[in-house]
């Protein structure tokens, strides 16, 4: 592991923000954000999400309460210094238009006085990490990039000085749904590598479920309605506000974050080899159901490595997510298949419907 300062917890204690015109953006928010996790803030427009982010890096000063970063009161830290230890990504990226991609990415390291060589090395490393070939993109200007590429440069710039925290305010909302999906996949891959403390703001419940280790649902004035992992939020919304917010399709969303229940599989056929459709044990219930629908079958074999460990039926899938709300949901998963799904089928024909 590379050192101790790669991620830090954040705690908000009865944090309040009243803007000078009297608007109470956040009334009294208490929230513990774990180090190395992605915490998503979601809620209706104007409920105070951006204000919360901006109080963490002190672009906005709280009117009350306490914010600690790694245990230390942020109001006691020099604001400029604080901001250099916190990456910040916003919707329209905010790249410097007259600087090249490389110069943009190297901004904070230069401010920190890194040597030219070190800045250069770090810049190349970061661009590669976010999937942009430095030789191809490094010398371009922001207007010579697509929206998705600009967004990735924004993420690279935010990560450049290895910040302990990454704040992301609707980072993927300005791009079309296909690019957004790709950026979300990339974000998950990246976060799997860097494991920063990420606080991500979104309007989009699907994005929240895909990216969040925990989701904080806020209502007006920054009132916290529920703070839970995605599976818990979907399986057991705390109240009508949350239920409405996650929407009528929460059963389907829940499938996507629920792993195949290993302990509830039906026994595999004797001999352990099953002809027909096979799903990897690491798949989610959504993957399993998708395969059933595609293949026109109501039963799949579940495989772990080379071994068939049981079978799963469509009925089992329904039963697994239709459990009573007070039952604890299965352990949430976040990294279902991203690129290559763990879903295989034995017959070699194409079954796309
Ligand atoms: N500088 C400001 N002065 C006065 N009121 C402000 C200021 N900035 C934000 N507000 C108000 O504070 C409330 C919260 O704003 P904030 O930008 O935090 O909401 P948000 O949840 O990020 O909304 P959105 O989803 O639309 O981005 C809103 O009512 C907004 O109008
Ligand atoms: Mg906002």
Q: Considering only 272-276, 293-297, 316-320, which range has the smallest mean pLDDT?
A: 272-276
Is any ligand 1 atom within 6 A of the Cβ of residue 25? yes
DSSP letter (8 states) at residue 265: P
Is any ligand 1 atom within 6 A of the Cβ of residue 23? yes
Q: Which ligand is nearest to the CA of 223?
A: 1
pLDDT in tens, 150-174: 888 988 888 888 888 999 999 888 7
Which residue, chain included where needed, has tokens 């790249």? 95
Q: Look over the chain and give the mean of its residue pLDDT values, rounded to a whole number.
A: 85
Question: Which protein residue's CA is at the shortest distance from atom 7 of ligand 1?
Answer: 19
Ligand 1 atom closest to 48 (CA): 18
Centre of ligand 1 to C-alpha 93, Å, is 19
Centre of ligand 2 to C-alpha 87, Å, is 17
Q: What are φ and ψ of residue 311, in 5° steps?
A: -125, 155
Is any ligand 1 atom within 6 A of the Cβ of residue 31? no
| pTM of the shown model | 0.80
pLDDT value of residue 343: 45
Is any ligand 1 atom within 6 A of the Cβ of residue 148? no
Cβ pair 186, 130 in contact under 8 A: yes
pLDDT value of residue 192: 86
Interstrand relation of 197-202 and 38-42 (parallel, antiparallel or unpaired): parallel
pLDDT in tens, 205-243: 989 999 999 999 999 999 999 999 999 999 899 999 999
pLDDT in tens, 84-120: 889 888 876 678 999 999 999 998 889 888 999 999 9
Domains and CATH numbers, the chain: 10-85+163-252 (3.40.50.300), 260-322 (3.10.580.10)
d(CA 281, CA 312): 10
Question: Which protein residue's CA is at the shortest distance from atom 18 of ligand 1?
Answer: 48
């Amino acid at each position: 592991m590379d050192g101790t300062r790669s991620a830090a917890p954040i705690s908000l204690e009865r944090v309040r923000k009243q803007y000078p015109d009297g608007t109470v953006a956040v009334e009294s928010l208490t929230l513990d954000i774990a180090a190395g996790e992605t915490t998503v803030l979601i809620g209706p427009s104007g409920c105070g999400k951006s204000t919360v982010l901006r109080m963490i890096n002190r672009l906005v000063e709280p009117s009350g309460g306490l914010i600690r970063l790694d245990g230390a009161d942020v109001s006691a830290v020099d604001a400029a210094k604080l901001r250099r230890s916190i990456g910040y990504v916003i919707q329209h990226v905010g790249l410097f238009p007259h600087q090249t991609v490389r110069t943009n990415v190297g901004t904070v390291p230069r401010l920190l006085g890194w040597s030219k060589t070190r800045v250069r090395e770090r810049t190349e490393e970061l661009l590669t990490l976010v999937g942009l070939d430095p030789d191809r993109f490094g010398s371009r200007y922001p207007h010579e990039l697509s929206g998705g590429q600009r967004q990735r440069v924004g993420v690279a710039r935010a990560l450049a000085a290895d910040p302990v925290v990454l704040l992301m305010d609707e980072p993927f909302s300005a791009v079309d749904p296909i690019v957004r999906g790709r950026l979300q996949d990339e974000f998950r891959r990246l976060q799997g590598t860097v494991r920063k403390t990420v606080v991500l703001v979104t309007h989009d419940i699907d994005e929240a479920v895909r990216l969040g280790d925990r989701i904080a649902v806020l209502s007006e004035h920054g009132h916290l309605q529920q703070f839970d992992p995605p599976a818990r939020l979907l399986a057991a919304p705390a109240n009508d506000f949350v239920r409405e917010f996650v929407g009528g399709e929460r059963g389907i969303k829940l499938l996507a974050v629920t792993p195949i229940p290993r302990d509830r599989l039906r026994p595999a056929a004797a001999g352990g080899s099953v002809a027909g459709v096979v799903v990897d044990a690491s798949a989610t219930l959504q993957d399993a159901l998708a395969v059933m629908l595609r293949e026109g079958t109501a039963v799949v074999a579940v495989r772990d490595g080379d071994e068939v460990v049981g079978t799963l039926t469509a009925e089992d899938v329904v039963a697994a997510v239709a459990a009573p709300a007070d039952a604890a949901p299965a352990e949430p998963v976040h990294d279902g298949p991203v690129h290559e799904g763990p879903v295989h089928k034995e017959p070699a024909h194409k079954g796309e419907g």
